[in-house]
């Protein structure tokens, strides 16, 4: 039986004006389902954007999913917003919007785009919820600006929550609350400064790893409710660890309950398939030129920073947003109004996003996963940039992995592969990523790429990590990298924790822990990590020995490290390196140390002589261990 939906609105005329101009960045305070008391009655205010709808009603537990009971009222201002107050609806009720399209009378049942909680997949209903929570992270939030600063250590442990560790007795993933204990203590033990979650927003299909979202404002129900997710975040902050979320504004799936053809029209996606459909991912692309869609996306980014105290957003697939011809052949794309291949609407959207984030939240970072040479990705919008804080260094990742898979006997012919990154490393604020994408789809695990016998493979892996941590830039490692896994990552199974019972695998974990400690304790590794003042070559052209050496320098003249990497299994004795001043060399890290599973070729304190070498006034003779990185402090 049709019931009265009371006229009520959370929108002011100013809200409507901002929304329609693409400048409303707090839409989650207006759209969706909100528990309120109206005229003495408890209930829920519902609102949804569906400008091409002929009729919108709310169906749910409170009306036994009767399609006729609660039709919403369309606003008079042509905003396309349908809204109303339903007395008696309550927290925990499941619901959807039933939409009758104006186009052809098509009937759609859609989840709420602004739902705060969703049903556990494969069920698809939204759930009335509220986000009340008493945060306990005041201390962390007060110093977050320092924790997240570009001149501070930034080492990230990338995690897929569903497969990090399983409850073996019940054959299930850990809950948010279990992770608040086990995952937090582990990341703390490993000495990472940050954790990054692959997408936790609700998604229907496990094999997508979370990159095909349907519930943009809801943490996935797979591991618990929103407040339990907040407890996990709180626990990380209590441990002094920042939290980054993967965020996906580049595309969304075609699932019937999702955003696709939401009101029968191309509402969220671009109507032209050349701009609105991803052929690679079989998904839809947001219409970045539509103001209301821009408001939706930027509001979503702001939501996680505002309501969940998130410290950073890693923005997925930025390259696919920037270029109209991304993964398209000639004839499958149309140039922009200026005749170019850039997606001008997407670029404008990205600039608006970063401008809002950095102006509204102190101490956060946005990080671009961007694989092209698009200029100034991590430069401020005011300086002609896209406005991201950092950018993934995909070129470094590719060149490094290609180099390390070569037999050491051939590396002398590929010295440029390992040195080339330094020709452009200071053009952006780069993150060095060894992410989940590098250990799937037949690429092999990182250990599996390494050549040689078992000893050499583990030595190569320690060498690569040590080179990574002494190279300028922030660091990111995908879970399992610290275990030296033999197998590729599988989203459906736990990491191979049993490997830590073997000394060689435990040595990898110990080496990475110590590299994180080294990174934190040595200002020379982070003070100028995005500035050319922080790096100086000692020698990049000793290809006969496959050795590179360089200085890392802090803001203080006293903070200087010398790093030597030997990419062959040959021990080099009496190896000379040029140095900038007198004093002594003190070895502070050596990936060949026996505690890591190495051969134990180390150096005692070495006197620096006044003998010119490598174009420098002073020099020293060192022993270079096999397949290893050794780090000295100039004292």
Asked if the structure places residue 265 within a domain, the reply is: no
Cα dihedral across residues 434, 439, 440, 442: positive or negative: positive
Same domain, 490 and 536: no
Rounded Cα distance, 189 and 509, in Å: 10
Count of structural domains within the chain: 2
Give the pLDDT score at 104: 83
Closest CA to 496 of 156, 196, 163: 163
Same domain, 481 and 371: yes
Asked if the structure places residue 552 within a domain, the reply is: yes
Same domain, 474 and 544: no
Asked if the structure places residue 43 within a domain, the reply is: no
Question: Is the per-residue pLDDT at 547 higher than 70?
Answer: yes
Query: Looking at 503, 525, 547, which one is the last position of a domain?
Result: 525
Catalytic residue among 196, 356, 369, 370: 369
Q: What's the gap between Cα 571 and its chain centre?
A: 39
68 is catalytic: no
Same domain, 205 and 350: yes
Cβ within 8 Å of residue 186, ≥6 positions away: none
| β partners of residue 60 | 95
List the domain range (segments joined by +) for residue 590: 532-634
Q: What's the gap between Cα 323 and its chain centre?
A: 21
Rounded Cα distance, 160 and 197, in Å: 6
pLDDT digits (tens, 9 = 90+) for 168-213: 889 899 999 999 999 999 999 999 999 999 999 999 999 999 999 9
Question: Is the per-residue pLDDT at 489 higher than 80?
Answer: yes
Res. 2 pLDDT band, cuts 50 70 90: low
Give the pLDDT score at 168: 87
Give the pLDDT score at 145: 95
Is the separation of the CB atoms in 95 and 27 below 8 Å?
no
Burial class (CB in 10 A: 0-12, 13-18, 19+), 280: exposed
Rounded Cα distance, 252 and 213, in Å: 6
Closest CA to 274 of 343, 351, 208: 343
Same domain, 315 and 399: yes
Asked if the structure places residue 91 within a domain, the reply is: no
Give the pLDDT score at 103: 84
Query: Looking at 525, 553, 585, which one is the last position of a domain?
Result: 525
pLDDT digits (tens, 9 = 90+) for 590-621: 999 999 999 999 999 999 999 999 999 999 99
Closest CA to 364 of 132, 138, 150: 150
Same domain, 627 and 551: yes
Catalytic residue among 311, 316, 542, 592: 316
Question: Is the per-residue pLDDT at 243 higher than 60?
Answer: yes
Question: Is the per-residue pLDDT at 4 higher than 70?
Answer: no
Concatenating the DSSP letter of every residue in 281-303 gives TTEE-B-TTSHHHHHHHHHHHHH
316 is catalytic: yes
pLDDT digits (tens, 9 = 90+) for 57-92: 999 999 999 998 999 999 999 999 999 999 999 999
Query: In this structure, what CATH number is given to the domain that contains residue 567?
Result: 2.60.40.1180
Query: Looking at 500, 525, 550, which one is the last position of a domain?
Result: 525
Tokens 């695998």 label which residue?
A: 505
Q: Where are the beta strands (DSSP E) in 76-228?
A: 81-87, 94-101, 107-110, 117-118, 126-127, 155-159, 166-167, 172-173, 194-197, 201-202, 215-219
User: What value does the mean pLDDT of the chain take?
Assistant: 96
Same domain, 442 and 572: no
pLDDT digits (tens, 9 = 90+) for 318-367: 999 999 999 999 989 999 999 999 999 999 999 999 999 999 999 999 99
**Measured CA distances, 373 to 283, 344, 381, 393, 484 (Å):** 25, 17, 17, 10, 32
Mean pLDDT of 412-423: 97
Question: What global pTM score does this model have?
Answer: 0.96
Same domain, 495 and 610: no
Query: Do you know the residue count of the chain?
Result: 635
Query: In this structure, what CATH number is given to the domain that contains residue 388?
Result: 3.20.20.80
Rounded Cα distance, 109 and 101, in Å: 11
Same domain, 504 and 552: no
Rounded Cα distance, 409 and 426, in Å: 31
Rounded Cα distance, 411 and 545, in Å: 9
Give the pLDDT score at 3: 61
Asked if the structure places residue 38 within a domain, the reply is: no
pLDDT digits (tens, 9 = 90+) for 465-483: 999 999 999 999 999 999 9
Q: What burial letters (b/e) apply to 416-431, b meaning 16+ CB within 10 Å?
A: ebbbebbeebbebbbb
Tokens 């409507």 label which residue?
A: 16
Cis check for the bond before 288: say yes or no (omega within 30 of 0): no
pLDDT digits (tens, 9 = 90+) for 559-586: 999 999 999 999 999 999 999 999 999 9
Bridge-based pairing of strands 430-434 and 390-392 is parallel
Helices (H), 289-393: 291-307, 318-322, 344-360
Tokens 């002073």 label which residue?
A: 618
pLDDT digits (tens, 9 = 90+) for 367-400: 999 999 999 999 999 999 999 999 999 999 999 9
Asked if the structure places residue 123 within a domain, the reply is: no
Same domain, 560 and 629: yes
User: Helices 291-307 and 13-21: crossing angle, nearest 10°?
Assistant: 110
Assign 3-class secondary structure to 390-425. EEECHHHHHHHHHHHCCCHHHHHHHHHHHHHHHHCC
Closest CA to 631 of 577, 583, 584, 590: 590
Q: How many Cβ atoms are within 10 Å of 489's Cβ, its own excluded?
A: 22
Is the separation of the CB atoms in 459 and 628 below 8 Å?
yes
Same domain, 439 and 541: no
| β partners of residue 109 | 98
Same domain, 349 and 409: yes
């Amino acid at each position: 039986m049709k019931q009265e939906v009371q006229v009520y609105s959370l929108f002011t005329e100013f809200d409507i004006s901002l929304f329609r101009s693409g400048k409303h960045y707090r839409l989650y305070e207006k759209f969706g389902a909100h528990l309120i008391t109206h005229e003495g009655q408890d209930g829920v205010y519902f609102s949804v954007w569906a400008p091409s709808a002929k009729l919108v009603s709310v169906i749910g537990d409170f009306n036994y999913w009767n399609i006729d009971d609660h039709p919403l009222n369309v606003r008079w201002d042509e905003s396309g917003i349908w809204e109303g107050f339903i007395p008696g609806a309550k927290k925990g009720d499941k619901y959807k919007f039933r939409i009758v399209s104006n186009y052809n009378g098509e009937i759609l049942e859609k989840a709420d785009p602004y739902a705060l909680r969703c049903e556990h997949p494969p069920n698809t209903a939204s759930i009335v919820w509220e986000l009340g929570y008493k945060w306990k992270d005041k201390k962390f939030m007060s110093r977050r600006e320092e924790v997240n600063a570009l001149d501070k250590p930034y080492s990230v442990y990338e995690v897929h929550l569903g497969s990090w560790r399983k409850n073996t007795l019940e054959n299930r993933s850990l809950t948010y609350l279990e992770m608040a204990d086990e995952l937090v203590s582990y990341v703390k033990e490993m000495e990472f400064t940050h954790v990054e979650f692959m997408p936790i927003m609700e998604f229907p299909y496990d094999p997508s790893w979370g990159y095909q979202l349907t519930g943009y404002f809801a943490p996935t129900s797979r591991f618990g409710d929103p407040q339990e997710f907040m407890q996990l975040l709180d626990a990380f902050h209590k441990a002094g660890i920042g939290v980054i979320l993967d965020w996906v504004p580049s595309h969304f799936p075609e699932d019937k309950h999702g955003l696709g053809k939401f009101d029968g029209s191309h509402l969220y996606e671009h109507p032209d398939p050349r701009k609105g459909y991803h052929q690679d991912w079989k998904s839809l692309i947001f219409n970045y030129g539509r103001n209301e869609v821009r408001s939706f996306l930027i509001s979503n980014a702001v939501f996680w920073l505002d309501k969940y105290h998130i410290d950073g957003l890693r923005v997925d697939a930025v390259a696919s947003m920037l270029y109209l011809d991304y993964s398209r052949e000639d004839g499958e794309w149309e140039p922009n109004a200026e005749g170019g291949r850039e997606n001008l609407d997407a670029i404008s959207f990205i600039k608006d996003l970063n401008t809002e984030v950095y102006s509204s939240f102190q101490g956060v970072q946005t990080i671009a996963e961007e694989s092209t040479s698009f200029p100034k990705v991590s430069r401020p919008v005011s300086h002609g940039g896209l406005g991201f804080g950092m950018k993934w260094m995909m070129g470094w990742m590719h060149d490094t992995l290609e180099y390390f898979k070569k037999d050491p006997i051939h590396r002398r012919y590929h010295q440029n592969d390992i040195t080339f990154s330094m020709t452009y490393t200071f053009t952006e604020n780069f993150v060095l990523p060894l992410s989940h994408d590098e250990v799937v789809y037949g690429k092999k695990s990182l250990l599996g790429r390494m050549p040689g016998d078992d000893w050499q493979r583990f030595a190569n892996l320690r060498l690569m990590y040590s080179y990574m941590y002494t190279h300028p830039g922030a660091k990111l490692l995908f879970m399992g990298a610290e275990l030296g896994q033999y197998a590729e990552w599988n989203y459906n199974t736990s990491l191979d924790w049993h490997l830590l019972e073997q000394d060689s695998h435990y040595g990898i974990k110990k080496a990475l822990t110590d590299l994180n400690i080294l990174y934190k304790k040595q200002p020379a590794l982070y003070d100028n990590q995005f500035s050319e003042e922080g790096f100086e070559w000692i020698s990049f052209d000793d290809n006969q020995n496959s050795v590179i050496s360089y200085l890392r320098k802090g803001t203080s003249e006293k903070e200087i490290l010398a790093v030597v990497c030997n990419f062959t299994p040959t021990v080099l004795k009496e190896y000379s390196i040029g140095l900038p001043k007198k004093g002594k060399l003190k070895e502070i890290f050596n990936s060949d140390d026996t505690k890591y599973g190495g051969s134990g070729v180390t150096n005692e304190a070495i006197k620096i002589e006044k003998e010119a070498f490598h174009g420098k006034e002073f020099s020293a003779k060192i022993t270079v261990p096999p397949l290893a990185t050794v780090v000295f402090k100039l004292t």
